[in-house]
Amino acid sequence: MKLIYALVFLFFSTLIFSQDAKLSPESFRVTGDAVRTGEHCYRLTKNVEWQGGTLWYKNPINLNDPFEMEIDLKFGCSDKGADGIVFIFHDRLRTGRPGGGMGFGELKPSLGIEMDTYQNYDLDDPEFDHMAIMTNGNLDHGNSDLQPVSILPNQRNIEDCKLHRIKIIWNPYAKEFQIFIDNHQRIIRQIDIVGNIFKGNPNVYWGFSAATGGSHNLQEICLEKLNFTEVAIFDKKTKTQLLDGEIYSLKNVEFASGKSILKTDDLKELNRLVNLLKENKQMDIFIYGNTDSSGDAKMNKIISQKRADEVAKYLRRNGIDKKRIKAKGYGERFPKESNGTVEGRKINRRVDVYLVKPRA
């Protein structure tokens, strides 16, 4: 069984969206005392008292797909410093309790990989630098069955002025988390993140938080390798237009002349539509198929209906109730651009959508 899981994970890992080449400062949001210090590097806290900083990836990801990242973390140079860094999954872009909470405390619902360099007696912390998988913003080890382990093997001090490579792997098929530090596996744990923590919602944000209190350290992060599936969502302007009932032409959903077959490149836009409809269950959707003016008008009407039906079929396959969907083909009746040019005809071979709230 483990071999099957491994093969499935390896297969899907080749399909997931890689952020390696597209990573940019615009992909992230920094809050509190966090600042960008390099191309992919951020300082979460200075080596001073009562600092708190968070780095969030701006778009949600889908935890039904594999997640893998490698990052370099620096925990400071003082063995008596504080407080540590937490990797977080949360359903919103916000920061939790600072100090001993490390920006994770009291966040619900959430999952955090705590990397704690300070012993808080009230939280049942061990005396060594430790890490654990914690849930729902609760950092109290006395109330958790996920007991901490040392961050480095043999309880070595990680506040050593060095960068340490952290590797985090999430395998949704086995519901398994693995965490490696400097190529040493420190945690392997099966946990149903989507079902038990986020109550069936797979679309969450990820980020890192850190804090200091009366004791302190310089705490930094450099993002090296990210692989994950990003949730397809419309930008704020497009989402507002759709929910306000404006007709919207699906972008990058393009058909060859006389064809009605969806291509792989079309699916990201359709997935945005699926997620919007799932978020707004009170809305129905009208789908309008269109063609250019090439060929016979009667045949164009048939082709445009097939195009609308293909989009409707995709929505149904992805969980949208067929009662919410109306699909109609209009052939060449409503061109957006002139049919006298190649580009104009390409634009006219389109699918428009229109969201409406049914009358009670």
Query: What is the CATH number for 286?
Result: 3.30.1330.60
The DSSP code for 80 is: T
Which of 227, 245, 262 is the C-terminal boundary of a domain? 227
Domain-ending residue, one of 227, 248, 273: 227
**Count of domains observed in the chain:** 2
Residue 22 scores a pLDDT above 80: no
- 211 vs 359, residue with greater confidence: 211
Distance CA 285, CA 272 (A): 14
219 vs 224, residue with greater confidence: 219
The range of the structural domain enclosing residue 128 comes to 2-227
Q: What is residue 21's predicted lDDT score, i.e. its pLDDT?
A: 36
Residue 296 in tokens: 């016979």
Indicate whether 48 and 152 sit together in one domain. yes
pLDDT tens string 111-155:
999 999 999 888 889 999 999 999 999 999 886 666 899 999 999
pTM over 0.75: no
Query: Do 124 and 221 fall into the same domain?
Result: yes
> Are residue 139 and residue 246 in the same domain, yes or no?
no
For residues 222 and 241, membership in a common domain is answered with no
Say yes or no: 244 and 152 in one domain. Answer: no
CA dist., res. 25 & res. 39, Å (int): 8
Winning range, highest mean pLDDT, from 12-16, 47-51, 236-240: 47-51
What average pLDDT does the chain have? 87
- What would you measure as the largest C-alpha separation in the chain, in angstroms? 80
Enter the DSSP assignment of 196.
Answer: I
Q: Are residues 206 and 255 in the same domain?
A: no
pLDDT the model gives residue 9? 35
Q: Let me know whether 213 and 255 are in one domain.
A: no
For the cut 90, the answer to whether the pLDDT of residue 242 exceeds it is yes
CATH code assigned at 78: 2.60.120.200
Question: Looking at per-residue confidence, does 104 or 230 come out higher?
Answer: 104
pLDDT at 352 > cutoff 70: yes
| Contact by Cβ (8 Å): 70, 178 | no
Is the same domain home to 105 and 198? yes
Task: For residue 327, list its beta bridge partners.
Answer: 287
Burial 80-119 (b: 16+ CB within 10 A, else e): ebbbbbbbbbbbeeebbbbbbbbbbbebebbbbbbbbbbe
Q: Are residues 318 and 300 in the same domain?
A: yes
Task: Name the phi and psi angles at 114, rounded to 5.
Answer: -80, 130
The values of phi and psi at residue 6, to 5°, are -65, -40
Mean pLDDT of 79-102: 91
Query: Would you state the pLDDT for residue 23?
Result: 65
Same domain as 201, residue 63: yes
Which among 207, 227, 247 is the end of a domain?
227
Does residue 154 sit in the same domain as residue 26? yes
Contact 86, 260 (CB under 8 A): no
Mark whether 208 and 344 lie in a shared domain.
Answer: no
Q: Which residue in 129, 126, 350, 357 sits closest to 251, CA to CA? A: 350
Q: What is the pLDDT confidence band of residue 360, given thresholds at 50, 70 and 90?
A: low
pLDDT at 234 over 90: no
Residue 158 pLDDT exceeds 50:
yes
Average pLDDT for residues 51-57, to the nearest whole number? Answer: 95
| 3-state secondary structure at position 37 | coil
